[in-house]
A = this chain, B = another copy of it.
Amino acid sequence: MTESWLDIPTESDFSLINIPFGIITYAGASAPRVAVAIGDKALDLAIFSASKGFLGLPAIQPYLHVFHEPTLNAFAALGRPVHRQVREYLQKVFTKNGPYRQLLEDNKELRNTSLTDLTAVQTYLPMHIGDYTDFYVGKHHAYNVGVLFRGPANALQPNYTHLPVGYHGRASSVVVSGTPVRRPWGQILNADKAPIYSPSKRLDIELELGAFVCKGNRLGAPVSLTKAEDYLFGYVLLNDWSARDVQAWEYVPLGPFNAKNFASTISAWVVLADALEPFRAEGIPNESETQSYLKSDVKKAMFDIDLEVSLQPNGAPSGTVISRSNGCNLLWSFPQMLTHHTVGGCPMNVGDLLGSGTISGPDSGTEGSLLELTNGGCKPFDIAGVKRTFLEDGDEVVLRGWCKDSTGQRLGFGECRGQILEAWENGVAPE
C-alpha cells in the first residue's frame, strides 16, 4: 500500500487509489474551477497548474487551461489516455517521498494555497450535461416493480433481456448533491380514480450509478462495443427522484415525464473510469441470446461497488441505512448501454450523462427504491421511531457508494444528498 504525505483518514472515500474530479469554489476562489478530492482536502487544479504543479507531466502542458474551466467537459474531452496520465501523475504527487515531492509535499506555500478542506468548498454540477439518458438495467428492480404491477409471471417485459431499456431524461433538472428538492405538484389519480392537481404523495428515490461521456460520435455513426469504453469518462452516484403517483397516471404510452423531471441528484466528484478498473466484477447473467452488436467477451463488465441508501427522517438526529445494494446488480454494462444508445446513429456529446436505472439487489433489504422497499407503499417501515412509506417533507436521503481494495483503502463516491422541501402553497413559487 502506497502512503501519502497527506493524512488521509482510513474511512475517507478519497484515498490515494481514487483521485476523483470535481468543480469547486471556496473563500477567495469564487470562479468555479477544477479540483480533485484527496482525503479530507480538495486540490485546486487551477492554482496547482498555474503554479507549475504539472511540471513533471509535459503531455498536459498545452491543455492546462482545462483546469480553469467551470465544468469538467474540456478535461474530459482530452480523452481516456490523458485522464489516466493526469490521475497517475497526481497519485505520485500525493505519494510520500514520491518523485514529485518538491512540487507539493516540500512546497509549503503551494500546499497552503492549493489545498482546502473539503468542508470549506462549495461543489457544483461537475459537467455541463447536454443530454441525460436513464436506463433501466437493474434487473432485480425491474422484476420487483413488474411483480407489483403485473404479477411474477409477467414481471419483465418481453424486450427486457434483449436490449438495455432506457428513456431520455431531462438534462436541465440534474442537480449536484446538497441541492434541496422541492416536492412537486402534478396530476395524480385520487381514491375515486379521478385526476386531481396535487402535491405528490408518493415521493420516492432511485439508487443509481451515472456515467459521464467524454467523447462524441457523429450523427449516423454508431459506436461499436469494442470502442465504447473510450467514451466513458467516469462515474457518479445518481438519485433519480420519482413522484410515483404522477408517474402512474402520466406514463402510458410515452414513459415517465413530470414524475422524474423535477430533480435528479448526482454526487459531486466524478470517479474516473480508470480508477474503477481494479474493481471489475460480473453482472447478472443474461439467459437470452445477445444480439451481435451487444455481444462482448468481457466477463467482468460491471463494478463491485457497495451501495447504500441512508434516510434521515425529518426531526431525527441522524440518518439510518435503509438499503444496501451493489453495482453488480445490472444486466447490461455501461459500454453496452452506450453502444445500444448509438446503434441507430444517435450522437453522443462530451458531458452526456447515462443513468443505470435503479440498482436493487435480489434480497430483502437491498431494494433501491421505496416503492420496492414498502411493497408498493403497502408496508410502511419503522425508522428512527417513525413510520415511512414514501418521503415526507424534511426527510433527507443520502446515497453512498464505495469499493475497497485488498489493503483496505477505500475508493468512494462521496455523498449524493438531498432534502425534501414542502410543496409550494397552491403550486405557486414565490417570485
Footprint of B on A, CB under 8 Å?
130-131, 136, 157, 159, 162-163, 165-173, 175, 179, 181-182, 184-187, 195-197, 200, 218-222, 224, 243, 246, 249-259, 261-263, 291-293, 340-341, 343-349, 352, 421, 424, 427-429
> What residues on B are CB-neighbors of A259 within 8 Å?
344
Residues A187 and B172 in contact, CB atoms below 8 Å apart? no
Shortest CB distance A227–B (Å) = 11
Shortest CB distance A395–B (Å) = 16
Shortest CB distance A56–B (Å) = 35
Name the residue on B nearest A198 (C-beta).
B291
Find A348's partner among B172, B243, B292, B428 (CB 8 Å cutoff). B172
Given contacts A258-B340, A343-B186, contact A173 B252 (CB under 8 A): no
> What residues on B are CB-neighbors of A167 within 8 Å?
167-168, 254-255, 257
> What residues on B are CB-neighbors of A348 within 8 Å?
172
Residues B168 and A344 in contact, CB atoms below 8 Å apart? no
Interface residues of A, dominant DSSP: loop
Residues A131 and B255 in contact, CB atoms below 8 Å apart? no
Given contacts A197-B291, A253-B251, A292-B197, contact A221 B346 (CB under 8 A): no
Q: 5 tightest A-B contacts by CB?
A: A255-B255, A184-B344, A182-B220, A221-B429, A167-B254
Name the residue on B nearest A187 (C-beta).
B163
Shortest CB distance A293–B (Å) = 6
Residues A157 and B252 in contact, CB atoms below 8 Å apart? yes
Residues B187 and A162 in contact, CB atoms below 8 Å apart? yes
Find A157's partner among B159, B187, B253, B349 (CB 8 Å cutoff). B253
Find A186's partner among B173, B254, B344, B429 (CB 8 Å cutoff). B344
Residues B343 and A166 in contact, CB atoms below 8 Å apart? no
Q: Can you list 20 residue pairs at the A/B interface with Cβ under 8 Å? A: A136-B254, A162-B195, A165-B253, A167-B167, A172-B346, A172-B347, A172-B348, A182-B220, A184-B345, A185-B222, A195-B291, A220-B424, A221-B429, A251-B254, A254-B256, A258-B344, A258-B346, A261-B341, A262-B344, A343-B427
Question: How distant is the Cα of A219 from the Cα of B341 in the complex, in angstroms?
Answer: 28
Residues B168 and A168 in contact, CB atoms below 8 Å apart? yes
Residues A171 and B222 in contact, CB atoms below 8 Å apart? no
Find A262's partner among B136, B159, B166, B220 (CB 8 Å cutoff). B220
Residues B172 and A130 in contact, CB atoms below 8 Å apart? yes
Residues B254 and A344 in contact, CB atoms below 8 Å apart? no
Question: How distant is the Cα of A293 from the Cα of B253 in the complex, in angstroms?
Answer: 23
Residues B172 and A291 in contact, CB atoms below 8 Å apart? no
Question: How distant is the Cα of A331 from the Cα of B175 in the complex, in angstroms?
Answer: 33
Residues B344 and A261 in contact, CB atoms below 8 Å apart? yes
Find A187's partner among B166, B169, B291 (CB 8 Å cutoff). B291
Question: How distant is the Cα of A424 from the Cα of B221 in the complex, in angstroms?
Answer: 9
Question: How distant is the Cα of A329 from the Cα of B171 in the complex, in angstroms?
Answer: 30
Shortest CB distance A127–B (Å) = 14
Name the residue on B nearest A253 (C-beta).
B157
Residues A249 and B352 in contact, CB atoms below 8 Å apart? no
Question: How distant is the Cα of A429 from the Cα of B219 in the complex, in angstroms?
Answer: 10
Shortest CB distance A417–B (Å) = 16
> What residues on B are CB-neighbors of A424 within 8 Å?
220, 222
